[in-house]
Structure 1
Amino acid sequence: MCDTAAKATGWRGWMKLDERPVGPALGPWIDLSHPLTEHMPTVSIFPAPRFWRLKQIPADPLNVTMMEMAVHSGTHVDAPRHFFADGPAFHEVPLDRLHGPGAVLNLEKEPDSVISAEDLANAKIRVEPGDIVVIHTGWWRYAGTPQYDRHPCLSVEAAQWLVEKRAKLLACDFATPDLPVHRRSPGFDWPVHHVLLGSGVLVSEHVTNHAELADRRAEFMFLALNISESDGAPARVLARRLS
């Protein structure tokens, strides 16, 4: 795929984050995750997910569903182990890194565009230390179409801005905050992931259904499966409005 040996180690650890009060909720919980199906969004380098019945009524006395999928398919969370051999795997991610208050930045973008540090800084809602930062570009609406593969991405400077702001998790409504697959040159090395995960900023991809939270603060729960030694995990992502 590409030479990542130089960055296989060197995880910089979890940044210290102060405990943040959440505040009163102003709305019900909203599901920001794609259902797990064979048609859920995933990148082309992964095999298609499969779901089938191992046991099925009436031939059997019960129904039992089997599934086969990459842990980075559909709505999921990346652990630092995704790009750092010495980074924590998913069972080592502290629970407080997966929930808390945050901001939904409304950043409508054109196909193949780049989200800059200036875009983040000039968003209507301000990012505060310890925030979960969820980006709304509206790209989730294209899931299941060829347009979904031409998603926006973050610049390296934007990733560094999030680290400097001490964000604890970045979530996006497209496949990856790095360049989409069709724009990658030989030797591509996922620089945005390296900046974020290397500093302990978790990454969640393929979130959806958060338009009503755009330009607002919200409380989030990234309910990812606790998979031992895994570099990521499928997640049920919930949010409710705070402002």
Structure 2
Amino acid sequence: MKIVDLSRDLYLRTPSYPGHPPTFQAIWKTHEESFTESGNVHGLASMFVSMSDHAGTHIDAPRHFGRSGIPIDQYPLEKCIVPGICLDLRHIAPRAEITSSDLAAAVKKAGVAVPKGGTVLLCTGHHERTFPRKEYSTDNSGVNVEATEWLAKQGVVHFGIDSMRPGPDGKVNSLVHKACLDLDITHIESLCNLEALLGKGQFTFIGLPMKFRDGTASPIRAVAVFDM
């Protein structure tokens, strides 16, 4: 078995979606403090973390798209361990729309079918090109509504992308979010290291969310697992 980590690091002020709260991470108690204050012979350390439920690599809950959608604590875990493929879309220009024709051509080039009940990860090269510069939050390519509908018709439960939003920045991205609610699928944002999956065929994708009550999303440890 080989595991490929597809998750961004979480650290103090890691790039966050514009308008979302920043990620804070700090020492709550050092080993020395724990030993001095409590006399604990092991001097146990701990940290304090504050962040958005959309921090880092995360999955959007349907509740994020509309009030009728389920929150993340009700999202079926069966949809978090699924077969997946990765498509090479690095030739798409920054800020451009990825169309259904682009996806179909990428599937043909990959030589592997879209797994029903699975996921499709879109390697645009955006993270590799821009992270953690300011362009990371603005210059991504992304799917349009027609491409989102195409993915849903292939039977996926979600799709993922190596940027902070599924669509290009602006109105198209908002419409893609709404389309996901209407189509009963969701998406995963801020993936990384997707280049390592290209040309490797089908894998098992694992991305389990935290159980935030009524949450609109959750950070996940996203990985691709290959049988060796």
The answer, yes or no, to whether TM exceeds 0.5 is yes
Residue 118 of structure 2 corresponds to which residue in structure 1? 131
Residue 60 of structure 1 corresponds to which residue in structure 2? 34
Specify the structure having the higher radius of gyration (Cα): 2
Instruction: Structure 1 unaligned segments of length 5 or more: list them.
Output: 1-26
**Alignment partner for residue 218 of structure 1, among 178, 199, 203?**
203
User: Which one-letter code corresponds to 1:156 in the other structure?
Assistant: V
Residue 133 of structure 2 corresponds to which residue in structure 1? 145
Alignment of 1:69-148 (within 5 A): 69-108=51-90, 109-123=92-106, 124-125=109-110, 126-141=113-128, 142-148=130-136
Equivalent-residue separation in structure 1 for 2:119 and 2:227 (angstroms): 13
**CA shift in 2, pair 1:208/1:189, >3 Å:** closer
Residue 190 of structure 1 corresponds to which residue in structure 2? 174
Q: Is 1:32 the equivalent of 2:6?
A: yes
User: Which one-letter code corresponds to 2:68 in the other structure?
Assistant: D
Equivalent-residue separation in structure 2 for 1:32 and 1:196 (angstroms): 22
1:88-120 Cα shifts (integer Å, max 9, x gaps):
111111111111111101111221111111011
Please give the TM-score of this superposition, normalised by the length of structure 2: 0.86
- How far off is 1:240 after superposition? 2.1
Local SS of the residue matching 1:128: coil
- The question of whether the paired residues in 2 share the 8 Å contact of 1:197 and 1:203 is answered with no
Residue 219 of structure 2 corresponds to which residue in structure 1? 234
**CA shift in 2, pair 1:219/1:65, >3 Å:** same
1:8-31 Cα shifts (integer Å, max 9, x gaps):
xxxxxxxxxxxxxxxxxxx50111
Equivalent residue pairs, number: 212
User: Which one-letter code corresponds to 2:163 in the other structure?
Assistant: F
More displaced 10-residue stretch of structure 1: 204-213 or 40-49:
40-49
The percent identity for this pair of structures is: 27
Equivalent-residue separation in structure 2 for 1:189 and 1:133 (angstroms): 18
Equivalent-residue separation in structure 1 for 2:18 and 2:69 (angstroms): 26
Equivalent-residue separation in structure 1 for 2:16 and 2:181 (angstroms): 20
Please give the TM-score of this superposition, normalised by the length of structure 1: 0.81
Instruction: Structure 2 unaligned segments of length 5 or more: list them.
Output: 36-43
Q: CA RMSD in A?
A: 1.8
